[in-house]
Each structure stands twice: as structure tokens, then as C-alpha cells.
Amino acid sequence: MDHLHLGRTGLKVSRFCLGTMNFGQHADEPTSWAIMDRALELGLNFFDTANVYGGVRGEGITEQIIGRWLAQGGGRRERIVLATKVYGIMGDGPNDRRLSAHHIMRACEGSLKRLGVETIDLYQMHHVDRLTPWAEIWQAMDILVQQGKVRYVGSSNFAGWHIVQGQEAAVRRGSLGLVSEQSKYHLACRHVELEVLPACGAYGLGVIPWSPLAGGMLGGALAKAAEGRRATEGQQNEIARHHPQLERWEALCTRLGQPPANVALSWLLHQPAVTAPIIGPRTVRQLDDCQRALEIALDAETLGEIDAIWPGPGGQAPEAYAW
């Protein structure tokens, strides 16, 4: 497993990030623990979660599962870069959500307790909060860093101009600011190439794509259309909308002799802006299968064929639509 610096930091993370959103809902606790143990065996040291994962409001079920896994010891905590998030609804009160200093501080304490750790390595804003001033957000984050409760701060689901706005506010305070952005990014959704990826490159943020397989659509959806999440109405509509592209896509993967899921992950790994796509296995076998994507080398011709099937916006703004 190769490791890269997370953005402009000195911190090194694995080329895949272990997403834990399935823990507690689609993977029970013993299975979740087995997945994390296997991740360590594979050299995967970057684990991502959120305080809202687990399906029960305010309970942080997924963080609790990770916390009990960490409590087993054996160097587990020392071997991983642990990321979680703040923003989502954690209670019924008006201040139990978003990015007020009040909520950030309380949410961090809750995550630390559930995870059973003293420090969160990467504390990510799960969404932009247009109603809270950046001065307030950075004051809270800076205090958490000074207290040793957070090491780095990241964003998720930010537009390019939000990254600029947030980073410039941090610079004015003399803070390190954002070190990563977690964005929806896959072959069928390449909007971030317009402005988010250029902003990340300009400010030295690592890019952590979520939903790299488009909810399973890019993982052989036509051949497995009636299985799992693909059987939902929403996913069936997406498959129908992209059916001609999926036919070409799966034919290309067949010609390459590789599973579509692994080719889709490999494509992301070939994008220079990407640090670590998030993989969300529900079983140990799925985790093992994902690792084969690291061995796939896509040449320029194949990357061109993929772009022809799944065209992006045409590059970064403004050249993508102007000159």
C-alpha cells in the first residue's frame, strides 16, 4: 500500500481511505471490526467516519463501534489516521447542528468520548454553513487544535469559492486552515473538476472522493441490477438514465479483463488531484477486492476511452465553458 502526503501537510495517508458509513447499519459490529483489522493488515491507515453515521440520531453508533475496536489496543490507535465530521443533526435542539462554535465544541467532545480517544487526527466540516461567520468557525477550531483535541481541519462538500473563503479567513488568523476536501467525485459526476479541484490544488488541500462507484452503478450495475442498493428505485432510475454509457463502460472493462468497480477506482487513483478515494466495504471480501485496483495501470489511450464514455465538464473553469 502506497502512502501520500495529505495535501500540503507532512501527514502520510494510504491511497485508499476506509469509509465506515456501513458500520452499524449494513455491517454488524463483529464484521466491522474484522474489516478494520484487515485494513491494517493491508497497510490501509486512513479511517473516515462521522458523528451522524449509524442510523440513530444523536447516538453516533458508528463512532461507538470504532471506539470499541480501538479499545482492544494492540497499537490500533497509533497505526491509524482517524477522521470524523461535524455539522449534522445530533439532537432536537436548535444548536445541535451546523457549525456554530457552540455546536463544534460540543460535537467534538461527543466524538472524542464515543471514539475513546484524546485526539481526532482530521476533523472535517461535513458541509458548508452559510449562516455562521468564518471568524467564529476558526476560533472554535483553533481552540480545539490548541487543546490537542484536533490535529488537522478539513472540509467536505464545499464549493470552490467556499474553500477560498475559508482558507483566506484562516490565513488572516495565522492558522493552518483546511488541509483536505472530501467531495463527491466519480466518473458519472465530475463537476468538481471545474473549480473545487483547482482550488484544492492552489491551496494545497488533499482530495478525498466519496461515492467513487456512484452508489454501485459503476461496479457492474447492468450485470447485477437486481442486487443490493441497485434494486432501489432511485438507483434503478440512475441505471436507466445512464444505460447506454453503462453498456459501453462494462464492455470496456470486460475487454480490459478487470471488474468495473476496480477500473472506476483506478481511474480516480490516476487523477493527479486525488489523495485517497473512500471505499466503504460491507464485508472483508469487498475490502480485499478493492485492493486490486491499486495494481491496475491505465494507459493514455484507455484513459481517453474512459473520458469518451464519461466525459467531464471539459477541464477547469473558465476554459471549460469559455476560453
* Active site positions, annotated: 53
Q: Which three cell numbers stand for residue 191?
A: 463537476
Q: Residue 77 phi/psi, 5° resolution?
A: -65, -40
Asked whether 24 and 65 are in contact (CB, 8 A), the reply is: yes
- Residue 223: CB atoms within 10 Å: 12
Give the strands of the sheet with 206-210, arranged side by side: 206-210, 178-184, 150-156, 120-125, 81-86, 46-48, 17-19, 278-279
> Which residues are within 8 A (CB) of 200 and not within 5 positions of it... i.e. 6 or more apart?
7, 163, 181, 206, 207, 273
Asked whether 112 and 121 are in contact (CB, 8 A), the reply is: no
Q: Which three cell numbers stand for residue 252?
A: 470496456
Instruction: Please state, in angstroms and rounded to a whole number, the distance separating the CA atoms of residues 191 and 185.
Output: 8
> Which residues are within 8 A (CB) of 157 and not within 5 positions of it... i.e. 6 or more apart?
126, 127, 128, 182, 183, 184
Instruction: Please state, in angstroms and rounded to a whole number, the distance separating the CA atoms of residues 198 and 42.
Output: 31
Identify which of 14, 12, 22, 1 has the alpha carbon closest to the alpha carbon of residue 286: 22
DSSP-H helix ranges across the chain: 29-41, 61-70, 76-79, 101-115, 134-146, 160-173, 196-203, 233-241, 243-256, 260-269, 284-291, 300-309
